[in-house]
Structure 1
Amino acid sequence: MTDYTSFDIAHLGNVELFTPKFDESLWFFRDLLAMRVVAEDGDSVFLRCWDEYQRYTIKLTASDQAGVGRVTFRASSQEALERRVAAIEASGRGLGWRDGEQGVGPSFAFTDPDGHPMEIYYETERYVATDDKPALKNQASAFPGRGVNARRLDHINYLATSVEDNGEFVRDVLVGRESERIRQDTGKYAAWWFHFQNKSYDIVYSDDWTGHSKRLHHIAFAPDTREDILKAADIFLENGIYIESGPHKHTINQTFFLYVWEPGGNRIEFANAGSRLLLDPDQPVVEWSEEERKKGQAWGMKTIESFHTHGTPLVE
C-alpha cells in the first residue's frame, strides 16, 4: 500500500553554488543560460530561471573553491513540513530553524550523512514579473529568447562516500521515492535515484571514487526540448565552454543530456527529465546490474572516465 506521506516534499527548491571565478560564472548563468539576476548580497548573486515560480533558483557565491553550499527543498504543506522536521530531528541530523533567503520563509537546517548542508521550508514568495511580464498569464515571466533559455532547476546529483547511507536517509527521513539504482557485483549501490512527485528524479547519490565527502557531481537545468539541448551544445562551443559529454540519451531514466563545466569548475547538466513521468504511485524500483551498465548509455556511448572522478571541490 502506498504511503502518501511520500509526497511531503514538493520539489527541489534552490541551490547555492560556490565558484572561484565569480565573474566568469556569473556570465555563464546570466548570459549563456539567460537567467535573471534578482538580488545581490555581499559576495553572492541570486539568479532565477525564467519560468521558476519562486524568487530565485541559484545563489552564486564567490569562494576559493567550487562546490555546493546550502540546498533547499520545499514541503507540500505546513503539515508536511512539520512531519519532515520531526523525522529529521529524530534522525539526529537537525540543526535548527533559520531565516530563509530572498522570499523563502522559515527553514529547518539539517545535513545528510555526508554532511551536505540542506534546508526544508514551506512558506515562499512568488516571483512578480515587472519589465519581464509574459504574454501568457500562466507563465512566471517572459521567455528570454536568447542563449540556452534554462526554464527551471531540475535535479541535483551528489557524490557520496556511502550511497547506501545517504540514499536510506532520503528514503526513510525525507520520504523520497526510489526510481532507479545501480547495484555493483559486490552488492553495494553505485548510484541511487529518488523523486518526490511525478518527475522521474529530483536527487541522486553517486559513489565518490575518491573517497571524499561533501562534493557535488552536478546540478541540472531543464530546457523545453531535445532541440534546445542540441542548440545549447553549439552555444557552448562558440563560447569556449568545456563540453564533457553528450548530447546523448541516458539509459537510466532515459534523460536526454548534455554535460558541461561552467567556468568555476562545477559540472552542469541540461536535461529533459520531465519527458518521463512516473504516474504509478506503486512504481517498482528499476535496478541495473554492473554488467548491464557496462553497455554504456542508451545509444551505446560509453560513460567517460571523468564522469566518475570529476566533482567539486576538486581533489587530488
Structure 2
Amino acid sequence: MAVRHEVAHLAHPQLFTPRLDASVAFFTDFLGLRVAGTDNDTVYLRAWDDYEHHTLTLTARSSAGIGRTNLRAASPEALGRLVSALEATGHGVGWRDGEPGFGPTYVFTDPDGHELGVYYETEWFTPGAETRPSLKNQAEARPGHGVGVRRLDHVNFLGRDPRANRDFLTDVLGAHTTEQIVNDDGLIAGAWTTFTNKGYDVVYTRDNLGLEGRLHHIAFAADTRDDILRACDLALEQGVFIETGPHKHAIQQTFFLYVYEPGGNRIELCNAAARLVLAPDWKTVDWTQAERAKGQAWGLRTIESFHTHGTPTPEEIAREG
C-alpha cells in the first residue's frame, strides 16, 4: 500500500476547448480568474488565492475535454518514490518539461487513459502592484468582478471502471477513498478520493456511454453559499448555461452549481470547505443504488444529462476518428 500524503495536492488541470477566446472570457469574466500568461494556442489562468503560477491551462483543440491533470508531490524525496511506484505499474510515460512556473513533471496515465503528471519544483506567485493584497498571507487581491472563486477544488473523471481507477490512486499514489457508490451488483459506480484533509480531490464516476478518457467536470471553490447564489444571477446576466443547481449533494454534502463553459466542458462551483476529513482512520462511506435514487440532499432529482454529458462528446470523438 502506498504511503499517504506523498501527494501534497491537486494542481493545474488542462482543458481543451474549440472556442478558446470564449472560454477565456468565461473563466475571467464569469469565474473571476486572471490571465497568468499565454503561449500560442494556450492560455494560463489563476485563481486569486493560488500560491502557484497558474491554476488552469486552456488549450485550443477541435474538441473539448481534459488534458493533463497535475499533482504536486510533498517533497523531492516523495516525488522520487512516486515515480518509482508509477514506473512499476507500467502506466508511466516519462519525464517532461513542466508548464511555465513548474519544474520537471513525470507524466503517467490512469487505467482509463487520462493523462496525469506529478512534480515538485514550483514557482511561488508574486503579485504585481495592481493586485497586491492588503493581507500578506493571501496570494493576490480578490477580483472585483465575477464569482471570484478562491481555488481549484477537484476533478471528476469519467471512466469505464471506477474501481480500477480508484485502486490505482489508493494503491500507487496513496489516496484515500472517502465515499463511493456501490451498485446492487457490487460494481462501483463512483468513488471520491482525497490526497489531503479535504473530502475529495479526484473523483471517478462510471461513463455510462462506455467511453474512455473523458471528463465529467472540474470544480472551483467559492467561499460561501451566497457566492454560488450570486453566480446564478451572474450566469443569467452573462448568458452562461446552468445545467443544474443550486442545491446540496448528498455525497460529501457539497453546495453546488453546474454550468457549461463555451467549449462544452462542465464546470462546478462548490462550497465544501466546512467538511474536512480529519480522522486518520476514516471509514469509507458506501451509498447504495436505492439511496442514490432518492436524488440530492434536499430531494432534487439528478437530471439525465448528468449521466450522459461528458467531454469530448461522442460526436466529437467520431469526428476526430
Give the number of equivalent residue pairs.
Answer: 314
Q: Secondary structure at the match of 2:296?
A: coil
Deviations 1:176-225 (A, max 9, x none): 11100000011101100000110000000000011011100000000100
CA contact (8 A) 2:151 2:220 kept: yes
Task: Give the aligned partner of residue 25 of structure 1.
Answer: 23
Task: Give the aligned partner of residue 140 of structure 1.
Answer: 139
Task: Give the aligned partner of residue 298 of structure 2.
Answer: 299
Letter of the structure 1 residue corresponding to residue 98 of structure 2: G
Q: Secondary structure at the match of 1:87?
A: helix
Letter of the structure 2 residue corresponding to residue 53 of structure 1: Y
- Structure 1 CA distance for aligned equivalents of residues 277 and 208 of structure 2: 30
RMSD: 1.0
Letter of the structure 2 residue corresponding to residue 206 of structure 1: T
Q: TM-score, normalised by structure 2?
A: 0.96
- Structure 1 CA distance for aligned equivalents of residues 307 and 170 of structure 2: 24
Task: Give the aligned partner of residue 35 of structure 1.
Answer: 33
- Structure 2 CA distance for aligned equivalents of residues 65 and 238 of structure 1: 27
Task: Give the aligned partner of residue 276 of structure 1.
Answer: 275
Which runs of 5 or more structure 1 residues have no equivalent in the other structure? none
Q: 1:217 to 1:19 in 2, by over 3 A?
A: same
Letter of the structure 1 residue corresponding to residue 308 of structure 2: T
Letter of the structure 2 residue corresponding to residue 152 of structure 1: R
Q: Secondary structure at the match of 1:173?
A: helix
Alignment equivalent of 1:106, drawn from 104, 107, 116: 104
Letter of the structure 2 residue corresponding to residue 43 of structure 1: D
Letter of the structure 2 residue corresponding to residue 144 of structure 1: P
Alignment equivalent of 2:59, drawn from 42, 61, 85: 61
Deviations 1:262-296 (A, max 9, x none): 11100000011222000111110000000111111
Give me the identity figure in percent. 55
- Structure 1 CA distance for aligned equivalents of residues 70 and 56 of structure 2: 10
Task: Give the aligned partner of residue 128 of structure 1.
Answer: 126
Task: Give the aligned partner of residue 191 of structure 1.
Answer: 190
Letter of the structure 1 residue corresponding to residue 14 of structure 2: E
Deviations 1:58-102 (A, max 9, x none): 111111000000110001111111111111011110111111011
Task: Give the aligned partner of residue 73 of structure 1.
Answer: 71
- Structure 1 CA distance for aligned equivalents of residues 253 and 70 of structure 2: 26
Report how far residue 4 of structure 1 moved: 8.6
Q: Secondary structure at the match of 2:218?
A: strand
Matching of residue 178 in structure 1 with residue 177 in structure 2: yes
Q: TM-score, normalised by structure 1?
A: 0.98
Matching of residue 290 in structure 1 with residue 312 in structure 2: no
Report how far residue 238 of structure 1 moved: 1.1
- Structure 2 CA distance for aligned equivalents of residues 76 and 233 of structure 1: 37
Q: Secondary structure at the match of 1:275?
A: coil
Alignment equivalent of 1:11, drawn from 9, 12, 15: 9
Task: Give the aligned partner of residue 319 of structure 2.
Answer: none
Task: Give the aligned partner of residue 89 of structure 1.
Answer: 87
- Structure 2 CA distance for aligned equivalents of residues 215 and 5 of structure 1: 28
Q: Secondary structure at the match of 1:182?
A: strand
- Structure 2 CA distance for aligned equivalents of residues 272 and 89 of structure 1: 36
Q: Secondary structure at the match of 1:185?
A: coil
Report how far residue 5 of structure 1 moved: 2.1
Alignment of 1:43-54 (within 5 A): 43-54=41-52
Q: Return structure 1 stretches of 4+ with deviation > 2 angstroms.
A: none
- Structure 1 CA distance for aligned equivalents of residues 221 and 27 of structure 2: 13
Letter of the structure 2 residue corresponding to residue 309 of structure 1: T
Letter of the structure 2 residue corresponding to residue 311 of structure 1: G
- Structure 1 CA distance for aligned equivalents of residues 267 and 149 of structure 2: 12
Report how far residue 145 of structure 1 moved: 2.5
Which runs of 5 or more structure 2 residues have no equivalent in the other structure? 316-321
- Structure 2 CA distance for aligned equivalents of residues 195 and 44 of structure 1: 29
Report how far residue 226 of structure 1 moved: 0.5
Deviations 1:141-171 (A, max 9, x none): 0011211101100000000011111111111
Letter of the structure 1 residue corresponding to residue 277 of structure 2: L
Letter of the structure 1 residue corresponding to residue 304 of structure 2: E
